[in-house]
Structure 1
C-alpha cells in the first residue's frame, strides 16, 4: 500500500470517527485522540455498516416494500469497502509489529 493509500485510509477512519461521534472533523484534535480509541471506533463503524447491510438485505429478501434495491446494494458495498479498508489497516499493523519484532536489540 502506497503512502497516498495509507493517508486515504487514515482520512476515511477520521471521517468515520466524526460520523460516529457526530462532531465535525475539523473540530476534533487528532493529537489528543488515542490510537486505540480511533481503532475501536473504526471497528465499531465497520460492524455497524455490516449490520445495517444485513438488515436491509434481509428486509429486501422478505419483500418489505420500504426496502429499495439500490439502498441495499449501496449499504452492501459500503460494508464491503469499509471491511477491506479495516483489513488493510490490520495487515499494516501486523507488518509493523513483525518488523519491530525482528529488529536487533
Structure 2
C-alpha cells in the first residue's frame, strides 16, 4: 500500500533499477519487464477492505505480457487505467531514448 512510506520508496527504487537494467542489457538482447500491479489478493493486503486482483489473474497477465513483449506490464484493471498515460509519458519516451543508445556511449558521458 502506498500509505506506507518505506514500501513506496522500495517500489520506486525497484522500478528505477528495472529501468536501469533495461538500458544496460538492451544491447545484449535481454529484455527486462516491470510488473506494475495494484492490490493483489495476498497475505500483505488481506486486512485491507479494498478491491484486489486475484493472484491467478495477475500471474496470467504477467505471462501474457512477457509473451506480448510488453516492457511494462499492468496486470489488473486498476493498474490498466494508468497504462496508456504511462506509455505516452515524457518519462517513458526518455527511457526509450536511453535504451536505444548504446550503453558504452552512455557510460562515457
Same fold, TM-score > 0.5, yes or no:
no
TM-score calculated relative to the size of structure 1: 0.29
Higher relative contact order (CA 8 A, sep 6+): 2
Q: Which has the higher helix share?
A: 1
- When Rg is computed on C-alpha atoms for both structures, the one with the higher figure is 1
